[in-house]
Amino acid sequence: MSKSNNKNSNSNKDLSENNNIAIHLPKMAQAYPDRAAVMFPVKKEYASWTYKQLDQTADSYAHVMKQAGVHKGQKALVFLHSGPDLIASVFALFKMGVLPVLLDPGMGREKMCQCIEHVAPDILIGVREAHIARWFYRQACRSIKLNFTATQWFPGCVNLSKEAVKYNEPFPVMPVAPHETAAILFTSGSTGKAKGVVYEHSIFQQQVKYLRELFKFKPGELDMPGYPLFGLFDIALGMTSVIPRLDPSKPAECDPALLVDTIEEFNVTTCQGSPIIWRRVCDYCKEDEIKLESLKRVITFGAPIPGDLLEELFKVIADEAEIYTPYGATESLPVAIIPGTFLVEHAAARTVEGAGTCIGKPIAGMEVKIIKITDEPIEKFDEDLVLPDGEVGEIIVHGPVVTQEYYQEDEANKLAKIDDGHGRVWHRMGDTGYFDKDHNLWFCGRKAHRVETEKGTLFPVMVEGMANNHPRIQRSALVGIGEKGHQKPVLIVQPKSGSFPEEDKKKDQLSRQILARYDEHELYSQIKDVLYRESFPVDPRHNVKIHREELAVWAAEELGQ
């Protein structure tokens, strides 16, 4: 083994010619070797790794895995905590041409086992708990032959950090074609079966380009990502990724004081997180009269940000800062983007009137169309499917960040992908929406959540927007009971904390106020039932997507139907 310390002298001269997404790490290590790449909590303090240290660690990890028998084309299931070891391990896999397989632990054991068994990984890189689970779920994990930990000891596993000290020479970044598979990222399964989305290197490269252009990110800025994988993009953009003190699988339980302290201590310039995180941060800042002056931009994801939260958030960040909500999905991200200032000044009032949620204009290079709603596969794209502006239909997208397939999911591919006959694939987002006269895209809810009554179709986000601005309502959910075409619409309301109407008289009064908003609308006037819950079942990834299917079952039981 070479013991050369001249790490980057000759190994990466052709980086610009390699399509591998991993090239960004050594490029940044060359440009900014001593800059902090990642800062992470260790007990009560924060530690950091430089770009040079991160790149060297990724190289050493790659050498260790190669020595153990790992090779290009294999699939590696990764279960590591947010931080430098996760980032170094994933970049090591990219450098080797090995496919990281990433899924959300919050999806539940049964779904997780189904995903693992389906994708059949060759390798597991995980924390101790992941390897214990491997023992318990041997059937699902039977394909795994090589096991690694990042720092911990576990029987039968190679400890990457312990073995890495034997290697200090560069690991060459594996040359790949633009459309070679880079990774398999699983959807959360919050609105159906969790599916493995096949990511190509070209898609990751284009996402880096879009992030740089859309948000004007500059090397040296500090980003605090509310979701672990965003830290990988921080590195590719030359920024410092400040790992927040929160459990990414339970954002609703975050401690806002810890997040605010970190932002202020390090002068973080960008924060990313789901609306549930920002709700807690806003409440904390408002109570303690704190203004986060260092923030240049806030990025929300997972679900549309409520109008009242948006206004509160603007009050606690710098006056010149902007709030952005990108629209997209694991299968295609980003598709569109909208600044919070536009929402507040132009779109929020229309949401209250039942227009849905404005999600902005499609970004450059992304084509978006609205087609007739159907639950059946569409084999070939046809312009006759396209609806005129103003008419609600299903959103389909084509462009450089649109993934081409799910991993070995023939039925899902038939339902989600449309061939245009010219080698291009359109992805069906599974969302409903429409274009207004200014070509702004409006979101009206998931296609699977539409309520089809004998009088017509109700789209949940449009209906809920008319109720959600009531001062006593936290959020609402429209569900349908019965068979499609003959469904009974029911509105379920979650009152704001401390205002749950326990008394029937108060419930009746609030219900009358809500229903009065629908009486003037011919289609919505058929909503006659309002039910109340103290909380809604939500997705584990962002804690904001409402599980309406579960609520529909509950509503039917409550109404005796």
Q: pLDDT tens track of the chain, all 561 residues? A: 333 333 343 344 444 578 999 999 999 999 999 999 999 999 889 999 999 999 999 999 999 999 999 999 999 999 999 999 999 999 999 999 999 999 987 788 899 999 999 999 999 999 999 999 999 999 999 999 999 999 999 999 999 999 999 999 999 999 999 999 999 999 987 767 899 999 999 999 999 999 999 999 999 999 999 888 899 999 999 999 999 999 887 888 899 999 999 999 999 999 998 898 999 999 999 999 999 999 999 999 887 888 889 999 999 999 999 999 999 999 999 999 999 999 999 999 999 999 999 999 999 999 999 999 999 999 999 999 999 999 999 999 999 999 999 999 999 999 999 998 888 899 999 999 999 999 999 999 999 999 999 999 999 999 999 999 888 898 999 999 999 999 999 999 999 876 666 677 778 889 999 999 999 898 999 999 999 998 899 877 666 789 999 999 999 999 998
Whole-model pTM: value is 0.93
- CB 323 within 8 Å of CB 298: yes
The residue type found at 225 is P
Give whole-number Cα distances, 333 to 443, 462, 542, 546, in Å. 15, 23, 16, 21
Distance of alpha carbon 252 from alpha carbon 37, whole angstroms:
27
- 194 and 114 in contact (C-beta within 8 Å)? yes
What is the C-alpha separation between 470 and 475, in angstroms, rounded?
A: 9
Contact (Cβ atoms closer than 8 angstroms) between residue 369 and residue 396: yes
Whole-angstrom Cα distance, residue 85 to residue 80?
7
